[in-house]
Chain A
Amino acid sequence: MPTLKFMFAVLTLLGSSIAAAADFTLEERIAKGYELAADRNAGNCFSCHMAEGAEQPGNSGPPLIMMQLRYPDRDQLKAQIADPRMRNPNTNMPPYGAHHILTDQELEWMVDFVHSL
């Protein structure tokens, strides 16, 4: 039987996570993801991928276009960025999640950005 104190704690937690998610609009999250993608010390995605808004992109990876068509499931795109070795063990793309290059929050913003392309 949950105590009043416990229920209050749950409510507070729920409230704060809703508040956190509501802190940023999708546009803002996409903008944050873009910044991470462009940052040479974070995603540095444009080193290898051509994408809209990328300055002097490289060509070692496939262009980031039609991403929602290629990844209808957002979770699959997140898994691919977190550890691309799952689909291709010989890939040269860094495992952004498995190697803790990005935090889970940053990964979420990155996915929002890449999925918007």
Chain B
Amino acid sequence: MKHAVTLALFTTLSLSVWAGPEEDRTAFVQFFEKRFPSIALEEHVNGAYALDEDKRKQWEALESGFPPYEDAVFDGEALWDESFANGASYSDCFGDSPAVKQHYPLWDAERGGVVTLELAINNCRESNGEKLLDYTDYAMVALSAYVAFESRGEPIAIEVPDQAALAAYEEGKAFYYQRRGQLNFACSSCHLEMAGNKLRSERLSAALGHVTHWPTYRSKWDEVGPLHKRFMECNDQVKAKAFELQSEEYRNLEYFLSYMSNGLPLNGPTTRK
């Protein structure tokens, strides 16, 4: 009897631990279903263009011509196929198919940290004796653009496999909802609570689907750039001191945010204003 109670208690505890992220995701998705009842969930991968018909038309015209991320995809493919000095290549790290973006970020139990696609690319280079790429380097952006392109249509499949992974997920979740900066905004202030509203003439996009399309060509940047660059920009806009590209803070944030979009199809790279 005593054992049964202990066992039951133990089961409940461990269940609640594993159910955490999934419960969070369900509530997150329901929030946007309620806020945008006429918009299909999958449509949110198109960000603000899911919410604004006029801007969507301009965007679709741009995407159907020669989209400005095309060169990055081609250059990335060439870099991906190159052999390292030791004769190995990226496929020795990632497998035969470069369509792997749906699994990133992933929890690396050995290293005890969240590994994004960009970090995995550098880890692969390191283990093969190659120089690490700077995260702003065009080669890094091009490689991740190629992987994103090859992974189009794959549903996001992020896992939180153990307690240590859960701790990183929780860090990212706290970051998402914490107000920061002199202007006192959380990520969730604009992209959850105010999603769909207009800031001046710009429509605030929904957080759901935010991670599906990176790297992205952003007109404001006039180049293809990674998700963490957008994180930095968001922090800066609310006058919070930004963190570094691939910092632990941003990797955990990406981990949480990607889990929230689990099941949505990848559609990167793309273009945004």
Instruction: Determine direct contact between A and B, CB below 8 Å.
Output: yes
Contact B199 A47 (CB under 8 A): yes
Q: How far is the CB of B241 from chain A (nearest CB, A)?
A: 14
Contact B199 A94 (CB under 8 A): no
Contact A60 B183 (CB under 8 A): no
Interface members, chain A 86-100 (any B CB < 8 Å): 92, 94-95, 99-100
Question: Total contacts A to B, CB within 8 angstroms?
Answer: 36
Any chain B CB within 8 A of the CB of A59? yes
Contacting residues, chain B, for A100 (C-beta < 8 A):
182
Contact A92 B194 (CB under 8 A): yes
Contact A101 B183 (CB under 8 A): yes
Contact A58 B183 (CB under 8 A): no
Contact A60 B200 (CB under 8 A): no
Any chain A CB within 8 A of the CB of B128? no
> Closest chain A residue to B182 by CB distance?
A99
Q: Mark B154-195, 1 if CB is under 8 A from A, else 0.
A: 000000000000000000000000000011110001100110
Any chain A CB within 8 A of the CB of B26? no
Distance A59 CA – B200 CA, assembled complex (angstroms): 8
The total of chain B residues at the interface (CB under 8 A) is 14
Partner of A95, one of B184, B201, B204: B184
Q: Mark A34-62, 1 if CB is under 8 A from B, else 0.
A: 00000000000011100000001111100
Contact A94 B200 (CB under 8 A): no
Contact A60 B198 (CB under 8 A): yes
Distance A60 CA – B193 CA, assembled complex (angstroms): 10
Any chain A CB within 8 A of the CB of B197? yes
Distance A99 CA – B184 CA, assembled complex (angstroms): 8
Q: How far is the CB of B166 from chain A (nearest CB, A)?
A: 28
Q: How far is the CB of A86 from chain B (nearest CB, A)?
A: 14
Partner of B197, one of A56, A58, A94: A58
Distance A72 CA – B200 CA, assembled complex (angstroms): 28
Contact A94 B198 (CB under 8 A): no
Q: How far is the CB of B188 from chain A (nearest CB, A)?
A: 10
Distance A94 CA – B240 CA, assembled complex (angstroms): 13
Contacting residues, chain A, for B198 (C-beta < 8 A):
58-60
Contacting residues, chain A, for B199 (C-beta < 8 A):
47-48, 58, 60
Partner of B200, one of A57, A92, A99: A57
Q: How far is the CB of B236 from chain A (nearest CB, A)?
A: 12
Contact B182 A58 (CB under 8 A): no
Distance A56 CA – B184 CA, assembled complex (angstroms): 23
Contact B182 A101 (CB under 8 A): yes
> Closest chain B residue to A84 by CB distance?
B184
Q: Mark A77-114, 1 if CB is under 8 A from B, else 0.
A: 00000000000000010110001110000000000000
Contacting residues, chain B, for A60 (C-beta < 8 A):
194, 197-199, 204
Contacting residues, chain A, for B189 (C-beta < 8 A):
92
Q: Name 26 A/B residue pairs within 8 A (Cβ), A-sorted.
A: A47-B199, A48-B199, A56-B200, A56-B201, A57-B200, A58-B197, A58-B198, A58-B199, A58-B200, A59-B197, A60-B194, A60-B197, A60-B199, A60-B204, A92-B185, A92-B189, A92-B190, A92-B194, A94-B182, A94-B183, A94-B185, A95-B184, A99-B182, A99-B183, A99-B184, A101-B182
**Chain B contacts to A: CB under 8 angstroms:** 182-185, 189-190, 193-194, 197-201, 204
4 closest residue pairs by CB, A with B? A60-B197, A56-B201, A94-B183, A58-B198
A56-B200, A60-B199, A101-B182 are known contacts; what are 10 more A-B pairs with Cβ within 8 Å? A47-B199, A58-B198, A59-B197, A60-B194, A60-B197, A92-B189, A95-B184, A99-B182, A100-B182, A101-B183
